[in-house]
A and B are shown apart, each in its own frame.
Chain A
Amino acid sequence: MAAPSKRGVYRRILKQLKPYSALVALTIFLALVTVAGNLWAPIIFGDTIDLIVSRREVNFEGIAYKFILLACVIAATCVAQWLMNIINNRITYEVVRDIRSKAFAHLQVLPLNYIDSHSYGDIVSRNIADVDQFADGLLMGFTQLFTGVLTIIGTLVLMLTLNWIIAIIVFFITPLSLFVAKFIATKTYSMFIATSKIRGEQTAFVEEMIDNLKVVQAFNHEEENGRQFDKINDELTKTSLKSIFYSSLTNPCTRFVNSIVYAAVALSGALTLIFPSVLPIAFSAGKLTTLLSYSNQYTKPFNEISGVVTELQNAVACAARIYELIDEPAQIPDAPNAKELCDVKGDVSFEGVDFSYTPQKPLIRNLNISAKAGQRVAIVGPTGCGKTTLINLLMRFYDPQEGKITVDGNDTQNVTRRSLRLNYGMVLQDTWLMQGTVRDNITIGAPQATDEEVIAAAKAAHSQNFIMQLESGYDTVIGEDGGNLSQGQKQLLCITRIMLCLPPMLILDEATSSIDTRTEMRIQNAFAKLMQGRTSFIVAHRLSTIKEADIILVMKDGNIIEQGTHEELIAKGGFYYNLYNSQFAK
């Protein structure tokens, strides 16, 4: 999926803002009021100073009038600014909420292909960090870009009316500070790159060594590590001193330009006051004060805007990443005439199925399996042979490219995913429990189940005992990723939740990692109870499971290379025979 063009992203952002157009209009109006107030106040202050000339030359009546005016202007500005801030916050946070909602809802319909092939960290950071960065950019854009531009224009216009000579001087000197800032930024850029490269190196080293600190200590390797670390550390120190120092020059330099502007305004202002006849400009000490405070204010929005521009560029890049996620094509929706699978007996068959994750690497070719209702199908084979792929196809996490999979004679592509999946009970080897109580986890497939039903299921799955030993029994909250439960206990809970809804077909993935022997036996018993009368597909590692299966599918490199019962396959003396001998015989 190509990244959307920058222009496209801007258009999308505007579209996103559409429901808030009334608020946007209002915030622009409020920004106008704020800027007008900000610019007007110094003029009134200047006028006031003109009324305070010298001894016995103070016009108190005029001052009182100016103060009332000032109070009104300031009050209006404050209220406008506050409202503007609130509205900007509201627009930003609500837009962000909308985007996150949309992205999350989209995650639910993305094909597993996408989720499997992207790191979780990347997707999470798009939905969290990128959206946050986007929000920051949007907020700054609203609060500072509008007001900044308006302030610059307003200041220029007002300076022109107050004293056009000074205005022109300021107009030409001020951009100097921008140039200086820009110059320093480009010069330091390469230093920052160098610093972050070395920092990356250091982080990699630290990660590697700290992550494996136990090995480091076991080999008494600390001193050597210390030497290597100090070497990188010295380099880092050198480059970061440069980059920090040079980048910190921006502020003093722009301040310096500012003070030049200030001096120029003071000089030209004072000279127009001394030689009033040369230039026909009505000028006063108060007006000079106004101009001086303008010249102080005038450079600020320039600096802010250059900050906002970087921030906005960042925000647009982040927005692009989010839209990329949202635009990722969803899984093909259920056909409009898809029917609901009901009263499933459990005849499952694969007919000429071709499948691959990437077109370049064909995996499964012309696969044919037929399992009658109630049969046990054991799938065996070396790692990477495609056992998990079969599960993916059965559950329609992935769809085959050719051929069809049928349940009771119905092509699974023509039934709703929902009804198909609800008819399967799945226990995977990498047990996953959601955050919530034990009860929440057990009733995930049957939210309406009563306590009696839950307990009955737990007893059947041999999990009742350990659940009762937990701190608050069924109400014990399980943390992220199962928290403090052992692997075996987690698997028992996963079996319990299937035991509660008892679907007619099962997919079981036996654990390879060894669980303590007693739990292991419980799990085996629970599995056996589950499988009674149900069509079961078992990714099998245990000999007993394999031997009791009605059909053994021996998979290698995505193909079923042998099919039959244990005795048949042993008699055949093929791949299974060898596998059996290498793994299970002495």
Chain B
Amino acid sequence: MRKLLKYLRHYKLESILAPFFKLLEAAFELIVPLIVASIIDDGVKGGRGATYVVYMCLILVALGVVGLISSVTAQYFAAKSAVGFAKELRSDLFAKMQSLSYSQIDGIGTSRMITRMTSDVNQIQSGVNMVLRLFMRSPFIVFGAMIMAFTISVTAGWIFAITIVVLCVVVFGIMLITIPLYKKSQANLDKLTASTRQTLVGVRVLRAFCKEDDEVKHYNKENAALCASQKFAGLISALMNPLTYAIINVGTIILLYYSGLEVNSGSLTQGEVIALYNYMAQILVELIKLANLIITVTKSFACAGRVSEVFDLPSEISQGDGFVAADSKHYIEFKNVCACYSGGANALTDISFTVERGQTIGIIGGTGAGKSTLVNLIPHFYGAREGEVLIDGNDVKDVGDNQLRAMCGVVPQRAVLFRGTIRENMKWGNPQATDEQIMSAINCACASDVVASKDGGLDAYIEQGGKNLSGGQRQRLTIARALVKQPEILILDDSASALDYATDAKLRANLRELDYNPTVFIVSQRTSSIRNADKILVLDNGCLAGIGTHEQLLENCQLYREIHYSQYEKEGA
């Protein structure tokens, strides 16, 4: 939380004024019982008469008005700094998230990042707001009431002090006991959620095996456990109201007894007794508010901790100083490259190969063989753990990610388009692209029919995730988006899987004819997509199982043969 406090720096004045005005309001509230005492002692009993009483009551109203003004001011400043705080926090957080590396993104997971960004920040915002509003007020009223009691009578003050201590022990004690209990029932509730999901997701299998009764039995067991844990937690938290009520009233009884003694001896008046009685009533309300506030603040702290974790991630984006002239025989070279998943297991082991400018490289292998990992090393989306990935003799980790990515056109496995027009999506590749450039990229990606089929052509609107397009249409548009960039290196990461064979072939023919002659990497699971490549890498479990042309590999790579013949029959090849 402390780290996040810097986001209040532009709202320093507001953050001080808010609690200040709250204190002011509280101070006015504390004066009220004194005035009531004076009404009774001086007005009624002391014979100062009706005019005095009316005067005093006008002061009460005036105190109310001043209190209203101060608290409205306080609310405004509190809201302003909380909202401003959240704004700057969100903006920074978003920037930080955008700067995370691929492996950091994998590590946190996108759904968690979204939660940090939305509900966590909101919770922190309301935490800041509540703290500014109440954190000063409640303790101030509680202790203020006690101090006022001391000014009236020392004995009474001590009675207040003891009552407050006992109340605190009870209120916070019950909270401390019940919080873990509620956590436990929450865990039980999560189990119920999982069970409900399971019965829906697995409905076909469960019904195929006639497991309905078992499911109900299992669920009822968990349901009963939840109910029991809720009742138990309730049993203890149900003590809160009666116990605090008892303590405050016992405190009042003792207070009145001592007051009786002091009035009898003449050191206290009846009006002052009434004032003390009123102060006692104020304590309880504020203490309960404070307890609730602490719950909110604890939640906010937990959220702040999670948000701070994101900020604490080290920056893994390489700035780099661009390409330097280097003596290199090959355009791209992998030298004994190993890469690993965030879990630690090797995704790639000892991969070495070379690529010349303008070549087409095919990469094939089963799922989890490391194909995507391999191509992701080229634009330095992931770093190699061992070995070097060189472009023009420069290690990609020293080149600088922005420059590297500007020269690579990547078509990811998952065909993602963004809300906006087709043109806006295409301009991701190059913000300055003209319509002609865009259309030629679209033609090359065999996507002109997609644009033609949509009302408005390039101005057609694409919904979130490209929902209004088919999988094949999305894939072709993502390919076009990468081509708008006119990249030196084009990476197709299994991105033609939804295309039929004819379109796939046409696309590859178009790529060969591009005048800027990019170096192309094609990841695929189909041998037909890569058989014409200059070089094919066969990956098996992260290792290079073979390298060569289609014919060479058929000749001498067992795995490649297996893959090929499982897709084509022997005689068909």
**Interface of A toward B, CB cutoff 8 Å:** 41, 45, 48-49, 51-58, 60, 63, 67, 70-71, 74-75, 77-79, 81-82, 85-86, 89-90, 93-94, 96-97, 100-101, 104-105, 107-109, 112, 115, 120, 123-124, 127-128, 132, 199, 202-204, 206-222, 224-226, 229-230, 233-234, 236-237, 240-241, 244-245, 248-249, 251-253, 255-256, 259-260, 262-264, 266-267, 270-271, 273-275, 285, 288-289, 292-293, 296, 395, 397, 417-418, 421-422, 424, 426, 428, 432, 434-435, 444-445, 480-481, 486-487, 513-517, 519-521, 542-544, 582-586
Contacts and interface: CB of A to CB of B under 8 A. Distances in A.
A108 B196 CA distance: 10
Best-buried of B49, B87, B105, B242 by chain A (most CB within 10 Å): B242
Nearest to B203: A115
Nearest to B232: A89
A220 B406 contact: yes
Given A86-B238, A108-B215, A584 B43 contact: no
A249 B204 CA distance: 54
A241 B79 contact: yes
Nearest to B33: A292
B573 to A, nearest CB: 8
Interface string B96-122: 011110100100001001100110000
Contacts of B71: 251-252, 255
A433 B224 CA distance: 25
Contacts of B4: none
Given A263-B57, A270-B53, A104 B273 contact: no
Given A213-B100, A219-B405, A289-B274, A74 B246 contact: yes
Contacts of B566: 517, 520-521, 542
Contacts of B75: 245, 248-249, 252
A426 B367 contact: no
Contacts of A255: 67-68, 71
Instruction: Give the contact-size bracket for chain B.
Output: 35 or more
Contacts of B367: 486-487, 513-516
Nearest to A441: B205
Contacts of A445: 209
Nearest to A293: B281
B109 to A, nearest CB: 10
A516 B99 contact: no
Interface stretch (B152-160, B164-172, B256-264, B295-303): B256-264
Given A93-B231, A214-B105, A432-B205, A222 B99 contact: yes
Nearest to A514: B525
Contacts of B197: 120, 124, 480
Interface stretch (B138-146, B319-327, B391-399, B411-419): B411-419
A224 B102 CA distance: 19
A218 B260 contact: no
B260 A93 contact: no
Contact of A74 (B44, B245, B418): B245
23 contacts: A45-B252, A52-B260, A52-B273, A55-B264, A70-B253, A74-B250, A75-B246, A104-B220, A124-B197, A128-B193, A209-B98, A211-B110, A217-B405, A219-B485, A236-B87, A244-B79, A248-B78, A252-B67, A285-B274, A395-B208, A421-B209, A422-B210, A521-B562
A210 B97 contact: yes
Interface stretch (B58-66, B331-339, B508-516): B58-66
A274 B44 contact: yes
Q: Which 8 A-B pairs have the closest CB atoms?
A: A516-B366, A85-B238, A89-B234, A259-B64, A55-B266, A263-B60, A78-B242, A267-B57
Contacts of A45: 252, 256, 277
A285 to B, nearest CB: 5
B544 interface: no
B7 interface: no
A435 to B, nearest CB: 6
A78 B246 contact: yes
B256 A52 contact: yes
B208 A237 contact: no
Best-buried of B189, B260, B402, B572 by chain A (most CB within 10 Å): B260
Contact of A514 (B366, B381, B428): B366
B114 A207 contact: yes
A516 B369 contact: yes
B318 to A, nearest CB: 12
Given A78-B245, A214-B381, A586-B572, A241 B65 contact: no
Interface string B533-568: 000000011000000000000000001001100101
B118 A214 contact: no
B346 interface: no
A218 B418 CA distance: 14
B60 A259 contact: yes
A181 B202 CA distance: 49
B187 interface: no
A426 B193 contact: no
Contact of B265 (A55, A82, A109): A55
A79 B243 CA distance: 9
Contact of B53 (A52, A100, A274): A274
A534 B243 CA distance: 72
Contacts of B82: 244
Contact of A203 (B118, B379, B541): B118
B419 A208 contact: yes
Best-buried of B44, B45, B65 by chain A (most CB within 10 Å): B44
B162 interface: no
B403 to A, nearest CB: 9
B203 A293 contact: no
A123 B281 CA distance: 47
Contacts of B437: none
A543 B571 CA distance: 13
Given A49-B274, A481-B201, A444 B196 contact: no
B84 to A, nearest CB: 7
Contacts of A586: 528, 568, 572-573
Best-buried of A93, A233, A487 by chain B (most CB within 10 Å): A93
A74 B243 CA distance: 10
B150 interface: no
B136 interface: no
Given A100-B223, A202-B118, A260-B61, 5 more contacts: A51-B260, A109-B212, A421-B210, A481-B201, A517-B559
Contacts of A212: 416, 418
B315 interface: no
Contacts of A53: 263, 270
